[in-house]
Amino acid sequence: MPGPEFSKPLAARSTPIPGVLLLNLPVHGDNRGWFKENWQREKMLAAGLPDFGPVQNNISFNGSVGTTRGIHAEPWDKFISVAAGSVFGAWVDLREGPSFGTTFTAVLDPTTAIFIPRGVGNAFQTLEHNTAYTYLVNDHWSADAQGQYTFLNLSDPSAAIKWPIPLSKAELSEKDRVHPFLADVAPMQPRRTLILGGDGQVGLALRRMYSDNDHVDFVTRSKLDLSSPDPFSNLDFSTYDKIVNAAAYTSVDAAETATGRVSAWAVNAAAVSSLATHCTRRGITLVHISSDYVFDGQLKEHHENEPFSPLGVYGASKAAGDAAAATVPAHYILRTSWVIGDGNNFVSTMASLAGRGVRPSVVNDQFGRLTFTEDIAAAIKHLLDVSAPFGTYNVSCSGQVQSWSDIAEDVYEILGHRRESVTGVSTAEYFAGKVSAARPAHSTLALTKLQSTGFDAPAARDRLRKYLLEVRN
């Protein structure tokens, strides 16, 4: 066969199978032979190839024309090219979903490559002697991984692949001859989403959000101790493509004690650093919940790019966790404030006091907006669903900025009690004689960046009324 066509420009084009990209590779040659950049990350990302993070390079040498291999769908992504010779390639979508069974074929030579996502069946037939078929993969091969393969028979009638050399005359393995037909193939399931902190306030809201999704797993504190030295040693990260870290040490005042300080840093910083390393290695999208306590509260409104300035141990440990989470190429950090959800919280406490006729003193010199966990859960799902640009996003309710005392008065009023039952006091007065951590005076979060993605948080007072009515009923 003739040699490769020289100097074609690098380009990627889509195929009938979602996510499968066919690439032209520039090959440069002269009387000595030819040279090409078989894999060049920066240029190929610019051409549209996903940043799939290859970790292993494999080569299949085939001595005879008509050598046929496949159809195998593997649990990793592949970048396939030909180093010498040429092949007829065939690909069948074996993933669960509407494109299941879609087929695509093409001839690959040294000037052509193809990107194959996880779950797409791959096969080839050599068109020349001494063909070297190469592929980069983004996970290490293991014997255990073979149990996750999905196979399709090379002669499946629904795929109707027109092999250049009839399979009856081709050279192939006995295993490839007896793989199942499409009607009997169990589609490869998508990678799953893992939510850490499944029994916390945000975790419970996410359980409700994803109650009808069979591809979401929840892990609770009793099953995964984030304060342990190596909390993820028994977790199979290959199962997941998204991890939501809704777990945290949140005892702000206890974090100032000797034991609390150790726990806060273990859970909020060390565990997040370890998680970030695993997510980066596996190409997993990490969603991490942050806090207004990473700031000192001197600014009246906090934007996502404000430098950290924590006042206490809890805030410092959360800031360290944010810094670690931000090292993951695919990350969302959701910064929240004044979180209200299931269980004991400020609003439920005020409601209980109102019901018992108590006239509380409440801090009136700390300002912000409430954030209800159902809105945090909705924001997480929204950012993932719309594939928003990675980065940090402020998430809170919208509306008027209030003090804790203002919110307590709202609780009393909504429940039919007098606003005057609440007395406002300064932070210094409230915590006089108590062991406590310093709090930011201003916790209001700017919401413009989140709104630019198409997410509009409801007004805090509307959410408060709804929350109280649901609790009361």
CATH of the domain at 247: 3.40.50.720
- Taking only the tens place, the pLDDT of each residue in 379-401 is 999 999 999 999 999 999 999 99
- Taking only the tens place, the pLDDT of each residue in 80-127 is 999 999 999 999 999 999 999 999 999 999 999 999 999 999 999 999
Q: Is residue 81 domain-resident?
A: yes
Segments forming the whole domain that contains residue 289: 192-472
403 close to 367: Cβ distance less than 8 angstroms: yes
136 and 93: one domain?
yes
> What pLDDT does 408 receive?
97
Residue 146's pLDDT band (cuts 50, 70, 90): low
Average pLDDT over residues 68-81: 95
CATH code for the domain in which residue 140 is found: 2.60.120.10
318 and 458: one domain?
yes
179 and 246: one domain?
no
Is pLDDT of 230 > 60?
yes
Q: How many domains does the chain have?
A: 2
Whole-angstrom distance, CA of residue 154 vs CA of residue 164: 13
Whole-angstrom distance, CA of residue 108 vs CA of residue 441: 63
Residue type, 74: E
Is pLDDT of 331 > 70?
yes
Of 28, 129, 133, 135, which residue is the catalytic one? 135
221 and 334: one domain?
yes
Angle of CA points 278, 279, 285, to nearest 5°: 170
Last residue of a domain, one of 129, 162, 184: 184
Task: Supply the mean pLDDT for the chain.
Answer: 94
Whole-angstrom distance, CA of residue 30 vs CA of residue 47: 26
Q: At what angle do helices 201-209 and 373-385 cross, to 10 degrees?
A: 50
195 close to 373: Cβ distance less than 8 angstroms: no
> What pLDDT does 472 receive?
59
402 close to 443: Cβ distance less than 8 angstroms: no
Which candidate, 430, 447, 294, places its Cα nearest to that of 369?
Answer: 447
Residue 145's pLDDT band (cuts 50, 70, 90): low
> What pLDDT does 446 receive?
97
Q: Is residue 4 domain-resident?
A: no
Last residue of a domain, one of 151, 184, 217: 184
> What pLDDT does 3 receive?
64
Token pair recorded at residue 232: 């993820």
Scored b (16 or more CB within 10 A) or e, 421-459 reads bbebbebeebbeeeeebbbbbbbbbebebbeeeebebee
- The distance from CA 402 to its chain's CA centroid, rounded to whole angstroms, is 33
Residue 404's pLDDT band (cuts 50, 70, 90): very high
Q: Is residue 402 domain-resident?
A: yes
230 and 376: one domain?
yes
Q: Is residue 330 domain-resident?
A: yes
Average pLDDT over residues 413-439: 93
Give the percent of the chain with pLDDT over 70: 98
> What pLDDT does 379 receive?
98
Token pair recorded at residue 441: 């005076």
How far is residue 17 from each of residues 92, 113, 159, measured CA to CA in Å?
Answer: 8, 15, 13
Last residue of a domain, one of 132, 159, 184: 184
Instruction: Count CA atoms within 13 Å of residue 239 on its CB side.
Output: 11
Token pair recorded at residue 188: 């490869």
Question: How would you classify the pairing of strands 131-137 and 402-403?
Answer: unpaired
Is pLDDT of 61 > 90?
yes
141 close to 78: Cβ distance less than 8 angstroms: no
Q: Is residue 1 domain-resident?
A: no
Least confident of 61-65, 99-103, 145-149, 296-300: 145-149
Q: Is residue 355 domain-resident?
A: yes
Is pLDDT of 213 > 60?
yes
Residue 473's pLDDT band (cuts 50, 70, 90): low
315 and 365: one domain?
yes
Whole-angstrom distance, CA of residue 133 vs CA of residue 60: 5
308 and 433: one domain?
yes
- Taking only the tens place, the pLDDT of each residue in 275-285 is 999 999 888 99
Q: Is residue 2 domain-resident?
A: no
169 and 215: one domain?
no
Average pLDDT over residues 406-434: 95
Q: Is residue 27 domain-resident?
A: yes
Burial of 232 (0-12, 13-18, 19+ CB in 10 A): middle
Token pair recorded at residue 447: 């919401």
Predicted structure pTM score: 0.87
433 and 450: one domain?
yes
> What pLDDT does 2 receive?
61
207 and 95: one domain?
no
How far is residue 109 from each of residues 6, 80, 114, 124, 362, measured CA to CA in Å?
Answer: 12, 11, 11, 12, 74
234 and 301: one domain?
yes
Return the CA Rg of the chain: 28
249 and 337: one domain?
yes
72 catalytic? Reply is yes
> What pLDDT does 44 receive?
94
Question: How would you classify the pairing of strands 78-84 and 68-73?
Answer: unpaired
Residue 343's pLDDT band (cuts 50, 70, 90): confident
